[in-house]
Amino acid sequence: MRRLLLLVFLAATGCEWIADPQNFTREDIPRFKAKAEHPAPIENPTQLKVMAWNVKYGACRVDFWFDFWGDRVQLSTAEVNDCLTKIAALIKEYDPDILLTEEIEVGSKRSAYVDMVQFLLENTNLRYAAYDETWDARYVPSEGVGRIQLGNAIFSRYPIVKAERIRQEDRTDQDVLTKTFYIKRAIGRAEIEVGNDRRVAAMVVHTEAYDFDGTKQKQIKQIFDVLKAEQLPWVIGGDWNELPPVCDEKAEPTSAEGCEGKLRLSGFLDERASSKGTEYEQPPYTPSVMKPYYDDFEPSLPLARYGVGDAAQRPFFTHTVLGPDGVNDEGTPGWWNRTLDYLFVRKGEVWSNTDVLQEPGRLGITGDPSRLSDHAPVVGTWSLP
């Protein structure tokens, strides 16, 4: 009976999922390549420049309804192309060997059905890409969102010889209808041939942002386990939607391990009161869940450099919902106000020239990342083991 219903449903929608349930544990994903000629990368490199960036579906600083600073649901073609052109220009300025992107879309109504993977392939020096789809709905019947095809992507100047995605846990705190049309999460993994028969693994992640049932924490733990099991030299980047483990949020706030004065856990300048009680309310952060990463892996920005307290940490914040051209309800202009994005490699390996590209001038860039997404790119040079 179930199969019959499924067949009837698929027939009604012309054999296309109305919302892909993504029933896989681990599966291969498509690889793409640039049609345009790009300069060849250095042969047999000893180091790779890596960039991780949540590109906010090419919306730049347009505030969507779930941001609570605006109520847009859709972009014009010109808006998307203009934003992507600037994003591509910034990527080209930094010129990474590996780019790890989240919230990249390939056929969504809200981003004018632009294939952003191909756009970046044609307009940067990156020659190969693997697209890890995490949200594929023929029509999301909420706020006129419509068709959504969103995911993470791994770009490389060196050939991607294998690509796959590893399914992450779904939320359990949603009704069936919401869950059906909601984003799924997956770890994107690509094997990259860097010469001399050497392969490295590049991974990209984007964990849950709005759950109140511990889904994000489970996903972060799963990513940790996948990294522990990885056989190739690896680099991972992405948006963990979690703060760095400067302190333990479970400890008494004023104790030695507590967070008071060391790390802001709530009351960020870009949080709007009207978001409270909605499905886009910011759940409490649990930075301690990131501690194993700092203990067992090599972050691009170690905690010693990150510092203690807002003032020290400010240069390394990677996220703000409110852009620099907006002001919050207290009249404070928007600016990066927390760190959610990271790069890690295996323990003992070496990072150099690491930074968060918050504004023009950082590592010599002239583009302005604060106007290109609600996340700043995290970058670093990874010395190959």
Partner 1 sequence: MRRALLLCVFGLSLAAFGNPRPAWDTADTGNKGSYSIGVFNPLRLAFTDRLELQAHPLFFFVAPHLDARFAILKNPVENGEPPTGVRLTAEAGLLMPTLGMRLMKGFFFPTWATSTNDVGFMLIPRVGLLVSGNFFTHDVATFRIEGRMRIPIGPNSATPLNSFLAPLEIVMAAPLTGFLGRAGASYDHAFGDTFRLRGEVNVYLTGQQGNLVAGGINQGVIAEINPFIVTAHLNLDIAVFKHSRIAVGVLWANYDQGASEVRTGADGFSERVRVRSNNILPTLDFIWSGF
Residue 121 near residue 155 (C-beta atoms within 8 A): yes
Residues 89-128 that bind partner 1 (CB under 8 A): 106-107, 109, 112-115, 117-118
Interaction between residue 143 and partner 1 (CB under 8 A): yes
* Single residue of 142, 282, 328, 381 touching partner 1 by CB under 8 A: 142
Residues 154-213 that bind partner 1 (CB under 8 A): none
- The interface mask with partner 1, positions 215-234, x = CB under 8 A, is --------------------
Query: Distance of CA 11 to CAs 8, 19, 146, 155, Å?
Result: 5, 14, 20, 36
Interaction between residue 280 and partner 1 (CB under 8 A): no
Q: Is the dihedral of CA 73, 65, 339, 203 positive or negative?
A: negative
Interaction between residue 21 and partner 1 (CB under 8 A): no
Minimum CB distance to partner 1, residue 326 (Å)? 12
Residues 36-95 that bind partner 1 (CB under 8 A): 65, 68-79
Cβ within 8 Å of residue 4, ≥6 positions away: none
Minimum CB distance to partner 1, residue 320 (Å)? 18
Q: Which stretch binds partner 1 (CB under 8 A): 135-143, 182-190, 216-224, 370-378?
A: 135-143
Give whichever of 260 and 329 is closer to partner 1, judged by the CB atom.
329
Minimum CB distance to partner 1, residue 11 (Å)? 5
Minimum CB distance to partner 1, residue 73 (Å)? 5
Alpha-carbon gap, residue 221 to 276, rounded angstroms: 27
Residue 378 near residue 340 (C-beta atoms within 8 A): no
Give whichever of 327 and 350 is closer to partner 1, judged by the CB atom.
327
Interaction between residue 144 and partner 1 (CB under 8 A): yes
Give whichever of 177 and 350 is closer to partner 1, judged by the CB atom.
177
- Cα–chain center distance at 244: 16
Alpha-carbon gap, residue 363 to 243, rounded angstroms: 24
The DSSP result for 299-338, as a single string, is ESS-HHHH-SSHHHHGGG--B-SS-TT-B-TTSPBP---B
Give whichever of 73 and 308 is closer to partner 1, judged by the CB atom.
73
Query: Distance of CA 77 to CAs 74, 248, 296, 313, Å?
Result: 10, 45, 44, 37
- How many of the chain's residues bind partner 1 (CB under 8 A)? 42
Residue 324 near residue 373 (C-beta atoms within 8 A): no
* Single residue of 14, 277, 331, 364 touching partner 1 by CB under 8 A: 14
Instruction: Give the CA angle between residues 185, 340, 236 to the nearest 5°.
Output: 60
Q: Residue numbers of the site for partner 1 (CB under 8 A)? A: 11-16, 18, 30-33, 65, 68-79, 106-107, 109, 112-115, 117-118, 138-139, 141-144, 146-147, 149
